[in-house]
Structures are given as C-alpha cells and as structure tokens.
Homo-oligomer: A and B are copies of this chain.
C-alpha cells in the first residue's frame, strides 16, 4: 500500500480532497513543516507539496519514488548537489488559466486607461481621451509551454498577433510566428506587449537585459509572470526611467518578498503584484496529482515530468 506524505501549509485540506476521491490503496500523512514531515512520513514513497518545504526533506526519505510539486517552479529541487533518484512532476494546466486572466487584465488596464480614467473621475473631469484595443496588437511570449499556450489562445480570441520565443519547441497552434536562439532581439523588436513565462534556469538568467529592453519598441509594455531571475532589474529600471519602455507589470522578482528599500516600489510606469498571478487553491491543484497517482499505481508514464537537466 503506497504511502503519501503531504507537506504543505494547506496539507489538511489536500488530505480531505484526496481522501474524498477514494484513491485505491493510498495511505496519507500530513505535515506542515519539515520536522513534522520526518516524524510522520519518513517511509513514504510519494511526496506531494510545496517545493521550498520539500527540499530539506527529500534527502532523508529512503523509499522515495515520486515527488509532485504543487507549484510549476521547481528550481529549489534542481540543485545538482541534490539527489535525483526519483521522478519529479510539477503542477501544470491550472496556472495557464489564471495567468491568462492576469495578462489580459493588465493589457486591458493599459489599453483602456483604467487608472487614468479613475484619476479623471476624482477630478470630476469628463475625459474622452482616446482608448486603445487589443485587436491587431502583437503579443510576444517568452517561453511557450502550457502556460504560454493558454495565453496565446486567449490573445488570438481578442484578435492579437502572437509571437513566441522558445529554445526549439513549437507546440502551440496559436502562435503565429516562432523565434529561437539568436533571433531574440528580432523577436523583441516586433512586440507591442511582451510576457515572460520563463522558468528559472541558467539559460534564462537575465535574458531580459539592457540590449533586449533596447530592442523593444518604446510603446511596449513588459509583463513578467515567470521568474524574476529572467530580468536584469537595474536595466529595467533604467529603461523605465528613460521612457525607453512604456510600462512594466511585475509579479515576480529576484528576491521575494521584495525588500522594502528596492527601487521597484516607486519606479515610474511600473505596476507590481506579489507573486499572485497564479494564486491557486487546493481544489485547483489536487486533481492533477490524483490523475498522476492513478498513473503511478498502474505503472504508467506520469504527466508533467520535470527534466532535471533542462529544469522544466
């Protein structure tokens, strides 16, 4: 009988959902911190939880066969010094739907001048200055996996053109034009909007640097919902301060929570959210784990397996 350890601040709710689903032959244990995890679940084969909590537990689980991360980002588990003798899967599918709402929300806030209209209201000013629209604009997506594909689909619904930059894959049917490798700056030059969905890997570090920001048109808006490591933060501040870029919307940062003294808090034309673009709840996340569990007991290939080398 497989043993599952759920290691999460919301472990009890996950346990309730998983037990309600009546998965065949599964015994579940819960823990909200690594110490409790080792006390309760040392002989588990399956670990399900938050990557930052699991990291310290994984080396000490002798029977571990499979780890499923509640998040998409698993960089904490990829350190080459850590063991890799288990199958690592992450959560996909659920984030795209939340992130496309985030992206469209901020694109439309920009096009429809939502903040400027509120200011006009406060000033009792009947403000009929022109507004923009999404149709015909080009959205560039840095990193087109399952999340980028969802965003591309929604962009097409609104009549946008979609450009994608990937290492080599061309999986989304909603991307009109793909760019790879050396074509990075060509990709940048064609964007009205740029969204980064890139994970934190050595290849993506500071891919959005001074040269990239200079290649973006001056009317472009940059949205980062991937990882903060993809951005040279000093170069972004300079680009915004010198109007080389119309705006940025950042959900992720090199250091989180963002330190109180960081210049981003008051950089002009920068909007921020707080790693909340894909805030999801246990009912969003549990189904993907449960589907994988059924595959696990049948000995089938799991969904969403992470390649330790590629990092995603």
Name A residues whose Cβ lies closer than 8 Å to a Cβ of B: 97-98, 101-102, 104-106, 108-109, 111-112, 114-115, 117-118, 120-121, 124, 126-128, 130-131, 133-135, 154, 157-159, 256-258, 260, 265, 271-276, 279
Known: A98-B133, A134-B101. A274 touches B108 (CB 8 A): no
- Whether B279 contacts A126 by the Cβ 8 Å rule is no
Known: A97-B135, A135-B97. A274 touches B112 (CB 8 A): no
- Whether B124 contacts A271 by the Cβ 8 Å rule is no
- Whether B128 contacts A279 by the Cβ 8 Å rule is yes
- Which of B105, B128, B157, B260 is A274 in contact with, Cβ under 8 Å? B128
- Whether A101 contacts B112 by the Cβ 8 Å rule is yes
- Whether B112 contacts A115 by the Cβ 8 Å rule is no
- Which of B115, B256, B260, B279 is A131 in contact with, Cβ under 8 Å? B279
Known: A114-B109, A121-B265, A260-B124. A101 touches B276 (CB 8 A): no
- Whether A114 contacts B111 by the Cβ 8 Å rule is no
- Whether B275 contacts A128 by the Cβ 8 Å rule is yes
Q: How far is the CA of A258 from the CA of B135 in the complex (A)?
A: 30
Q: How far is the CA of A154 from the CA of B153 in the complex (A)?
A: 12
- A246 to nearest B CB, angstroms? 17
A274 proximity list for chain B (CB < 8 A): 117, 120, 126-128
A130 proximity list for chain B (CB < 8 A): 279
- Whether B121 contacts A118 by the Cβ 8 Å rule is no
Q: How far is the CA of A272 from the CA of B109 in the complex (A)?
A: 14
